[in-house]
Structure 1
Amino acid sequence: MEEIARQNITGKVWIASDGWYPLQIFSENKLLKTLIGTFGIWSRKGMVPGFQDFLFSAHPSKSPNDIFIKDFWENIFGCKWPESMSDKTTQNENTMFCTGAEKLNEINKILLDTPHLIITYNVYNAVYAVAHALHDLYSCKHGEGPFANGMCANIYNFEPWQLLHYVKNIHFINKIDAEVFFDKNGNPPPVYDILNWQLNPEGSMDFVKVGSIDFSASKGQGLIINESAIMWSGGKTQVPRSVCSESCAPGYRKSTRLGEPICCFDCVLCSSGEISNQTDSNECIKCPDDHWSNERRDKCIPKRIEYLSYEDPMGATLAAISIFCAVICTTAFCIFIKFQDTPIVKANNRGLSYVLLLCLVLCFLCSLVFIGQPKTWTCMLRQTAFGITFALGVSCVLAKTIMVVIAFNATKPNSNLKKWVGSRLPNSIVLVCTTIQVIICIAWLATSPPSSEQNMKSQIGIIIIECNEGSTTAFWCVLGYMGLLATVSFIVAFLARNLPDSFNEAKLITFSMFVFVSVWLSFIPAYLSTRGKYMVAVEIFAILASSAGLLACIFFPKCYIIILRPDRNTRECLMGKGIGGNKKNT
């Protein structure tokens, strides 16, 4: 402590143990600047009645044979008795000799303040404890004693353990109204005073009681602190703040600096999804799965729920396009019904054209099932309805393409394909190809059906309500089978593109299948690279684009002739010229 004072280290709050108080150095004025504001925890003191008067009356001359009083005198006054100086003791000019004229009642009162009387008070209680134990031992009645067979100890000849029994059980109130007893472990009452070392107006040090600790008190009542009575380092009354690091605000956590005191730390912003809602948090708290941290990281807020809804501009736009295309397709169907007896409608299986148009209407409308909050039934319906309707539509296109090839080759002499001309073969093709897709969908729904789920991990701060396809393999089997039908239709139509004009619908089918396959090949990487509502939007766009491609490429040219060029809607024109209007050689 002398070295600390010499280097003028101030501004520190020291915590003193009960081992400090017997040392004279801690009451020296040169340490006042360093030690003011120190806190000490000592056993509760008590003023022994009459002890101060006894102390002031003590003098070596009254007890010349008492060696302890001479040592006490030397320690109190900082002097040496001449007779205590041996020949080997080195004397110097600063050595002060005791004369006996010194007066105890004139010394600094710090010597008689709290710490110096604690041992005296404890000895006082110890003597009384033994006295009470001896009294209880003496008062024991034969036959009612605490030992074997009700025996009592002999007051003139007892064993130490017999006296110890009574000492453990003493319980009395001393002359300053303090309880004295021992617990089951032999310990005195665990009560301590909290003392604050303060500078008094005379420039010396006082030990001021500012609180107490009672470990035997009920929970929450053991610690009592009088904050207004505390004097901090430097004589200040305001609680000192750490000069190393300021407090961390809510939203931050403390990160201790390696190799530095615990009061030196950095304030680190809580990670996304974590918060701290109090000052100087040591750790950040993780938000529940359905919540996320706000920007200040001091509160958990519900995650934003996302799905492709009708209120969303993108969802509303796709729904409007879907309905518009369905209306256009229905209009084309009505045109075909009204002009069903005209040559261009009757050409190449009128019934398949009706089925294909109705199928395209369903394809446009099935995209509406993809919009809105996913439910279990909508998740099961959307992919199966889409897969079956598209399989039906592509099967119709395949049947029409095959019939173009068969019809052309059946006109050749001695052809065996004439028996296949008619409605039985295309109907069988449509039925078989569609049934296979239906079987795939039934197996999908029976083994691992799609369901609605909340995806909380895909995007930060967002709960994506989406459909879990259940079986990814089944989903890609549905798409793969549909792609297989489209590829076969494209190949057959491409090979039949140069047939005579009367059967040149193969050219339109070729281009429509090219658009269809291109759309779905582009769909795969786009679908796999998106998440949430954008993934659903990509699939809806693919459905609308591929359906619109079939409608535009196969039926718009025929509707154009029916409505705007009725003069070309004749058998002679169809046999002599194609839909495109170019002359061909048969």
Structure 2
Amino acid sequence: MLSDKFQFPSFLRTFPADTLQPWAVTQLLLHFNWTWVGILSSNSDLTNLGSQKIQQEFVEKGGCVAFLEKIDDRYPRERLAKVAKVICQSSANVIVCNCYEMHLKPILELLSFCNATNIIWIFTVVLTLNPHLFTRESWRLLNGSFIFTGSTRSMPHFTDFLYHMGTSAYQWETFTKLFWEKAFGCRWERQNLTQMVSKKNFIQCTGEEDFKAVDPAFFQLNDLSLSYHAYLAVYAYAHALHNMILDGAKKDVFEICINIQNKKPCQVLHYLRDVHFITESGEEVYFDRNGDVPTIFDIVNIQVYPDDTSELIKVGRYDSRKSPGNEIILNISAISWNQKYNQTPRSICSESCPVGYRKSSRIGQPSCCFNCIPCSAGEIANETDITECWKCPEDYWPNESRDKCVPKVIEFLSFYEPLGAALASVAIILSFATVLILSVFYWFQDTPIVKANNRGLSYLLLCTLTLCFLCALTFIGHPMKITCMIQQPAFGLIFTISVSCILAKTVTVVIAFKAIKPHNQLRKWVGPRIPNLIVVFCSLVQLVICMYWIFSHPPFPENNTRSESGKIIVECNLMMPILFYCMLGYMGLLAIISFLVAFLARTLPDSFNEAKFITFSMLVFVSVWLSFIPAYLSTQGKYMVTVEIFAILSSSASLLFLIFLPKCYVILLRPEKNTKEHLAGQKYNRGKKIK
């Protein structure tokens, strides 16, 4: 208020106004990264307003106030005890005290009982610290604390002036005589101004006493902040008068001597506002438009030594003339911390969240109190103490510590990995085995056992089984547009032809044995016409499904970043999975029909009958594909492809080995059974038994 020149136009001061004190205190707290502090305030309008401004400034800069309590030496002890309990139970290790020393004294005495030695106190300029006012225990609690004081520098010749001060020039000054009695414990003749000296200890003051015999502490030279600013005020006034005289130097000297005594206060005020000088110690003094000097505070560290001696050491200053952020200047090496701290103490509500974590506020608590939660899947935090994690781009993924995004692993079933190489090898071996069996059948094509069950269907079945094994290779390797387009339709169509051949072979067996009876209507259906018709018709239905799929919604390769975290799965998008399941369903329907027909024909004569082998092979075939569906749906990425390849290879192998190995065994190892007479004999004997 005193800076308001409309209300107080003639008020100027050399002690800095407390306008910037909240900013100075906040800067000191943030310099040491103290974000969790308590505030104590004397119960007065001035300190309450100042404490609220400190709280507001500190909170705006990201700090948090654990508590704000008022204290007063007139409070009941119970009320002060509650304040002391709040301080002792708080996790804040730093307390800003905007209070008077007489209000601080009782609270410190209470805190000494709870051994609150870990607190660092920050005292504002309101406090004038007098160590003799406190008890030994309470004074030790202030070790390592800081005090803001008005900036001081040396006053040349001031000490000499004190020690050579006499009464000759001031013998009629009451103040001088009072000071003399206190300093030397004497009494002036016929006077006892201080009432300190009793008649028994009467010592008469002579005015010739030597100040060098006085304890230097008596002068309180360790804190001359108030004296220094009075010194600046006197010099400012002297410079104003000097400048005023210089401006009148053009006038007659005699007129100056007469008028200097008649100057009006407003005339002096005019020159005082514009005064600008540098003291002998190098301090620049001037007044701003509000009548205030630049805000400069000294930061003093209280250092209490083990022998209970103490010292106030200037360790830094706050200079508002510096650039923003550089106002605080500290000599860290000169600071002595509390004995409990080997290094700069910490005062935070929650530990800093490391990279990879974000802050989660605690309900009902200040922003400085939080929990650290790991970033969610796909997010990172490469800075400490952030409130929101950043999402990685679609083709990137967080690393293990979640502090940076790394490219996702591209996954597909490759020929170069053990699993892909093994499946490819098995597919090629089985295809060669199929070709070998086809060669055996072709080499022995005229033998009865080859001709017995429709030689043409056997050749077609072996060729389609070869293609079945080879089509598994289209599922291995980096998916491309052509492979994605043909792999599923080719697999479905080839398998349908294979199953259709088995169905045709089974129907051929049934017709062949039923047509033996005379006058049986099935005799006219004996021949290749019915099997060929079955194969063509059954395959045509699947061909229509596959052609519609390819031309209307062709599958295509895509990078799947959603299915599995941390990976880019390169896969074929089926576009319309319903068509894929229609294809499987139709193939499964044919397999079930083949199984049922073969099962019903299993009692026919063994020599010409493949029904038992077909029954068992189709049982394995259906079992494989029934187990394929849940396994396929429960896997992702390359393992989904692996499941389908395994189903293709295992079901094809069951058809190959269960149907054709018994025939190869007879052809190669038991040629005596591969004769028409042998097969006809068995047939005849079985016919007699039936009769």
Normalising to structure 1: TM-score of the pair? 0.71
Determine if contact 2:183/2:218 at 8 Å carries over to the other structure: no
Aligned to 1:401: 506
**Structure 2 residue 385 is the aligned partner of structure 1 residue 385:** no
Q: How does 1:218-297 map to 2 (within 5 A)?
A: 218=323, 221-234=326-339, 238-239=342-343, 289-293=396-400
Q: CA deviation at 1:260?
A: 13
Determine if contact 2:181/2:194 at 8 Å carries over to the other structure: no
Question: 126, 141, 151: which one pairs with 1:44?
Answer: 151
Aligned to 2:41: none
Aligned to 2:423: 318
Q: CA deviation at 1:364?
A: 1.3
1:55-75, CA deviations, whole angstroms, 9 ceiling, x for partnerless residues?
6759998675779x9799999
**Structure 2 residue 470 is the aligned partner of structure 1 residue 365:** yes
Q: How does 1:56-455 map to 2 (within 5 A)?
A: 57=165, 106-109=214-217, 112-113=220-221, 116-122=223-229, 167=273, 173-180=278-285, 188-199=293-304, 204-218=309-323, 221-234=326-339, 238-239=342-343, 289-293=396-400, 307-374=412-479, 377-408=482-513, 421-445=526-550, 446-447=552-553, 449-454=555-560
Q: CA deviation at 1:514?
A: 1.2
- Give distance in 2, aligned partners of 1:261 and 1:27: 36
Determine if contact 2:143/2:304 at 8 Å carries over to the other structure: yes
Q: CA deviation at 1:564?
A: 2.5
Question: 473, 477, 482: which one pairs with 2:587?
Answer: 482
- Give distance in 1, aligned partners of 2:290 and 2:590: 91
Q: CA deviation at 1:229?
A: 1.8
1:251-287, CA deviations, whole angstroms, 9 ceiling, x for partnerless residues?
9989999999999999999999999999x97999789
Aligned to 2:641: 536
Question: 113, 122, 125: which one pairs with 1:7?
Answer: 113
- Give distance in 1, aligned partners of 2:652 and 2:634: 23
Equivalent residues, number = 550
| Secondary structure of 1:440's aligned partner | helix
Aligned to 2:140: 33
- Give distance in 2, aligned partners of 1:432 and 1:177: 111
Deviates more, 1:439-448 or 1:51-60: 51-60
Q: CA deviation at 1:583?
A: 8.8
- Give distance in 2, aligned partners of 1:471 and 1:190: 76
Alignment-mate amino acid for residue 487 of structure 1: I
Aligned to 2:47: none
Alpha carbons of 1:545 and 1:6: their partners in 2 closer, same or farther (altered >3 Å)? closer
- Give distance in 2, aligned partners of 1:409 and 1:457: 55
Alpha carbons of 1:157 and 1:419: their partners in 2 closer, same or farther (altered >3 Å)? farther
Determine if contact 1:516/1:550 at 8 Å carries over to the other structure: yes
Aligned to 2:123: 17
Determine if contact 2:379/2:398 at 8 Å carries over to the other structure: no
Aligned to 2:69: none
Alignment-mate amino acid for residue 313 of structure 2: V
What is the percentage of aligned positions where both structures have the same residue?
44
Alpha carbons of 1:212 and 1:463: their partners in 2 closer, same or farther (altered >3 Å)? farther
Q: CA deviation at 1:551?
A: 0.7
Determine if contact 1:290/1:463 at 8 Å carries over to the other structure: no
Deviates more, 1:197-206 or 1:552-561: 197-206
Aligned to 1:512: 617
- Give distance in 1, aligned partners of 2:435 and 2:289: 97
1:465-492, CA deviations, whole angstroms, 9 ceiling, x for partnerless residues?
5555444433323322221221122223
Alpha carbons of 1:259 and 1:493: their partners in 2 closer, same or farther (altered >3 Å)? closer
- Give distance in 1, aligned partners of 2:309 and 2:288: 39
Alignment-mate amino acid for residue 367 of structure 1: A
Q: CA deviation at 1:399?
A: 2.8
Alpha carbons of 1:554 and 1:163: their partners in 2 closer, same or farther (altered >3 Å)? farther
| Secondary structure of 2:629's aligned partner | helix
Determine if contact 1:330/1:361 at 8 Å carries over to the other structure: yes
Deviates more, 1:367-376 or 1:388-397: 367-376
Determine if contact 1:494/1:507 at 8 Å carries over to the other structure: yes
| Secondary structure of 1:232's aligned partner | coil
Alpha carbons of 1:582 and 1:261: their partners in 2 closer, same or farther (altered >3 Å)? farther
Alpha carbons of 1:324 and 1:99: their partners in 2 closer, same or farther (altered >3 Å)? farther
Normalising to structure 2: TM-score of the pair? 0.62
Alignment-mate amino acid for residue 559 of structure 2: E
Alignment-mate amino acid for residue 121 of structure 2: I
| Secondary structure of 1:352's aligned partner | helix
Q: CA deviation at 1:540?
A: 2.3
Alpha carbons of 1:462 and 1:492: their partners in 2 closer, same or farther (altered >3 Å)? same
- Unpaired runs of 5+ in structure 2? 1-104, 186-190, 248-262
- Give distance in 1, aligned partners of 2:636 and 2:181: 90
Q: CA deviation at 1:37?
A: 1.9
- Give distance in 2, aligned partners of 1:299 and 1:585: 82
- Give distance in 1, aligned partners of 2:180 and 2:504: 123
Determine if contact 2:317/2:330 at 8 Å carries over to the other structure: yes
- Give distance in 1, aligned partners of 2:141 and 2:535: 101
Aligned to 1:498: 603
| Secondary structure of 2:446's aligned partner | coil
Alignment-mate amino acid for residue 489 of structure 2: T
1:129-187, CA deviations, whole angstroms, 9 ceiling, x for partnerless residues?
788889999999xxxxxxxxxxxxxx969799x969x94x8765455433345679987
Alpha carbons of 1:122 and 1:466: their partners in 2 closer, same or farther (altered >3 Å)? farther
| Secondary structure of 2:322's aligned partner | coil
| Secondary structure of 1:233's aligned partner | coil
Deviates more, 1:474-483 or 1:104-113: 104-113
Q: CA deviation at 1:365?
A: 1.9
Deviates more, 1:407-416 or 1:55-64: 55-64
Aligned to 2:68: none
**CA RMSD in angstroms, aligned pairs only:** 5.7
1:311-355, CA deviations, whole angstroms, 9 ceiling, x for partnerless residues?
544443333322221111111111222233333333343332222
- Give distance in 1, aligned partners of 2:640 and 2:557: 16
Alpha carbons of 1:244 and 1:191: their partners in 2 closer, same or farther (altered >3 Å)? closer
Alpha carbons of 1:17 and 1:33: their partners in 2 closer, same or farther (altered >3 Å)? closer
Alignment-mate amino acid for residue 142 of structure 2: L
Determine if contact 2:397/2:405 at 8 Å carries over to the other structure: no
Alignment-mate amino acid for residue 538 of structure 2: C
Q: CA deviation at 1:549?
A: 0.9
Determine if contact 1:450/1:471 at 8 Å carries over to the other structure: no
Deviates more, 1:175-184 or 1:345-354: 175-184
Alpha carbons of 1:259 and 1:447: their partners in 2 closer, same or farther (altered >3 Å)? closer
Deviates more, 1:553-562 or 1:3-12: 3-12
- Give distance in 1, aligned partners of 2:441 and 2:447: 9
- Give distance in 2, aligned partners of 1:283 and 1:200: 44
Determine if contact 1:255/1:267 at 8 Å carries over to the other structure: yes
Determine if contact 2:355/2:381 at 8 Å carries over to the other structure: yes
- Give distance in 1, aligned partners of 2:481 and 2:210: 99
- Give distance in 1, aligned partners of 2:474 and 2:182: 102
